[in-house]
Amino acid sequence: MAEPYAILLAGLVQIAIEALKVFGIGLLGGAGFWLAARLLRTS
């Protein structure tokens, strides 16, 4: 029988990885959009 804490920890790690992926993609998208908007404004 697996330890409940191990299952819980694995679940939390999975959630953390997913959250980091979403946050990273959002951050890159936001930075790219901001940079593009700034370049379009100045030109």
User: For 30-43, how does the pLDDT look when each residue is reduced to its tens digit (9 = 90+)?
Assistant: 999 999 999 999 87
- How would DSSP label each residue in the chain? ---HHHHHHHHHHHHHHHHHHHHHHHHHHHHHHHHHHHHHHH-
| pLDDT at position 27 over 70 | yes
Higher pLDDT, 25 or 1: 25
Q: Would you place residue 2 in the very low, low, confident or very high pLDDT band (cuts 50, 70, 90)?
A: confident
Q: What is the pLDDT of residue 32?
A: 95
Q: Which two tokens stand for residue 31?
A: 């930075």
